[in-house]
Amino acid sequence: MLLRFSIPAILWAAFILLVSILPGGNVQQAHLFNFLPVDKAVHAAFHAALVFLLMVGFSKQHSHRKIRYNPARYAVTLSCLYGIGIELLQEFVIVQRNFEIYDLVANFSGAIIGYGVFQLVYFKL
């Protein structure tokens, strides 16, 4: 039952989509530690959580062996593709939003961070 264990990740992905299609504000003007824009940190955190939840769900299911034993490959790939899709949606469909390459970099970085957090939590590296 792949879907059953992936419900938290699906709900989180829906939340990311909802937040991503809302009209943009001035969030990008705020910075963490005087160099990291807050919106990029949020992108990274969202995708880190998405990868973590996907990996948890994928590793718990028993119906697809490839996914169960390689959850990182599928979770990171899905998160990155989802981030690309959202950026394209913002560019071509959503008013007051646009494609930003640095958002993609933040999404991809967050995906790698999510993988690392999963490894720390479940394998105590």
Alpha-carbon distances of 28 from 35, 40, 49, 55, 103, rounded to whole Å = 11, 8, 21, 29, 11
Give residue 38's pLDDT. 85
Give residue 25's pLDDT. 59
pLDDT, block means (10 residues), the chain with 125 residues: 87 96 66 74 96 96 90 97 96 88 96 97 79
Task: Sort residue 36 into left (φ over 0), alpha (ψ -120 to 50) or beta.
Answer: beta
Give residue 22's pLDDT. 87
CA distance 97 to 22: 8
CA distance 68 to 60: 7
Helix axes 71-92, 7-21, angle to 10 degrees: 20
